[in-house]
Amino acid sequence: MEREALLSGLVHPGDREPAAGPLRLVQAFVNSVDSEHGPDLFDDSQGLGEWLARNGMPADVRPDDPATAREVREALRSLLHANNGAPRDPTAEAVLDRAARRARLEPVFGAAALVPRATGVDAAVGHVLGAAFASMLDGSWSRLKACPRELCGWAFYDRSSNASATWCSMRVCGGREKAGAYYRRRRAASG
């Protein structure tokens, strides 16, 4: 995928509408990499800095920040796989708990939101985690899913009436791997 297309946050396979409200920030964070073809915007400080600026959270990026951002991103993606039928991932949940503590997320009653008290990239990641947490409370979270095709993992918002969508795009991913094979493999993996 073109780097600019990835940065724009406007790429939505299958012509799906993106998530609404703050959850859209979570979706954009997870979709900061084209896992199959590249690039990964969080590969280096410059790319992470660009993504943060484009998403209204400019921050000074330190050398360790890209690796941390990638770890949090993949932990979020793991939760989105769980929203799509994969087993829960306690390791990923622990990664997010640690990132929330680094961000010093605090409830702010005037905003009815979790707000990060840290600075820099920790705070930006905190905004993403605060948005994810809020959407868990308002019920929209379970519709943000990761595409299960091995090389894809794209985050999409499932607006189908019974929340039954599995693939980011039936044409791009659903056609390459049948749901039956996917679920057989999942069952084998989880024993």
Residues engaged in binding Zn ion (CB under 5 A): 147, 149, 152, 154, 168, 173
For Zn ion, which is the closer residue by CB, 123 or 155?
A: 155
For Zn ion, which is the closer residue by CB, 103 or 168?
A: 168
For Zn ion, which is the closer residue by CB, 77 or 149?
A: 149
Name the minimum Å distance from CB 84 to Zn ion.
Answer: 11
**Residue that has been written with the tokens 């609404």 in this structure:** 20
Name the minimum Å distance from CB 101 to Zn ion.
Answer: 32
Name the minimum Å distance from CB 152 to Zn ion.
Answer: 3
For Zn ion, which is the closer residue by CB, 12 or 98?
A: 12
- Cβ neighbours around 106 below 10 Å, total: 12
Q: How far is CA 89 from CA 78, 81, 113, in A?
A: 7, 9, 25
Name the minimum Å distance from CB 37 to Zn ion.
Answer: 12
Q: How far is CA 11 from CA 16, 17, 106, 116, in A?
A: 9, 10, 32, 28
Q: Cα–Cα–Cα angle for 42, 117, 103, nearest 5°?
A: 40
For Zn ion, which is the closer residue by CB, 131 or 173?
A: 173
Structure tokens at 94: 């622990």
Q: How far is CA 112 from CA 72, 89, 115, 117, 138, in A?
A: 24, 28, 9, 15, 12
Name the minimum Å distance from CB 151 to Zn ion.
Answer: 8
Measure the CA–CA gap between 5 and 148, rounded to whole angstroms: 22
